Amino acid sequence: MNVKPVKLDGKYVTLEPMSLEHVDELASVGLDPSLWEFTVDRISTREGMQAFVERALSDKLSGSALPFVTKISDSDKIVGSTRFGNIDAANRKVEIGWTWVAAGSQRSFVNTEAKLLMLTHAFEVWQCIRVEFKTDATNLRSRAAILRLGAKEEGILRNHMITDSGRFRDSVYFSILDTEWPDVKRRLTEKLEEHR
């Protein structure tokens, strides 16, 4: 796995490497409390968004993450962010997560194409054998969305994380294997065309 910053261009969505220059625009679309209801972080201010970006960039420097801003290609407007995290080159696996999409772009082509771009990069460029996803066990909407991607639910890690509010979070893990990727790719491509 040759892990280095990369811009991922799709038909409708562009994933651009995150930088501190994106903080203001991320804050302009990302302070809606509903976006952070099930996350470990609770971001409600520009300063909170800056801290979120700084942590992501610190993980990038350590080699454990590649964070992106999610843009609509034809307008160059930021509508969210996502990242590769827990990068494990030795075992050819990576996690996709830390994803949020502004309310006006949810349940649209945005997340579908972003996931298609990232999964294609993971399986076809990095030659990963496994891509992981995790979400709060109480986030039924996210769990259903991950299953719709074609991922398989693997189990629940109890008291896995402590949120900013002090709540103990159980996390549900999912995965897609390289052998499953061709079928997942076909379904995501079909779903993307249905969105448009």
How do residues 148-173 score in pLDDT, each as one tens digit? Answer: 999 999 999 999 999 888 889 999 99
Q: 163 with 171: CB under 8 angstroms?
A: no
Burial of 167: CB neighbours in 10 Å, binned 0-12, 13-18, 19+:
exposed
Q: Give me the residue spans of the domains in the chain.
A: 8-195
Q: 173 with 146: CB under 8 angstroms?
A: no
Q: Mind listing the pLDDT tens digit for each residue in 25-39?
A: 999 999 998 888 888
Q: Mind listing the pLDDT tens digit for each residue in 70-85?
A: 999 999 999 999 999 9
Assign domain 8-195 one CATH number from 3.30.43.10, 3.40.630.30, 3.40.718.10, 3.40.50.300: 3.40.630.30
Q: Mind listing the pLDDT tens digit for each residue in 8-60?
A: 999 999 999 999 999 999 999 999 988 888 888 889 999 999 999 999 999 99
